Copies of this chain bind each other. A is one copy, B any other.
Amino acid sequence: MLICASVPAFAQQADYQNLLNMCKACHGETGESQFSSIPSLKYQNADYLSAQLAAFKSGQRPDKTMSKVAALLSEKDMQQMAKYFSEGKGK
């Protein structure tokens, strides 16, 4: 907890936005993918999404792009990304 508290809140927010922007680049602002080979994430079950991110990171589900992306994510990041898209946020 002390380690978390030592990180300024604005830095945590910037990290969150940067990670989210990385997701949005392919999956769309709201998770509605415009690319037929890329899945839409909008309203997808959060538990499923975070489990898939973990599977990409562990190598259990290999994917050229997502394996690299998921390697950058902590467990908390995965939960946050999953929460964002599952709630159908964005414009």
Contacts and interface: CB of A to CB of B under 8 A. Distances in A.
Interface of A: 33, 35-40, 43-48, 51, 60-62
Total copies of this chain within the assembly: 2
9 contacts: A36-B45, A36-B46, A36-B48, A37-B51, A38-B45, A39-B44, A39-B48, A40-B45, A60-B62
B40 A43 contact: yes
Contacts of A40: 43-45
Chain B CB count within 10 A is highest, among A35, A45, A61, for: A45
Contacts of A38: 45, 48
Contacts of A37: 45, 47-48, 51
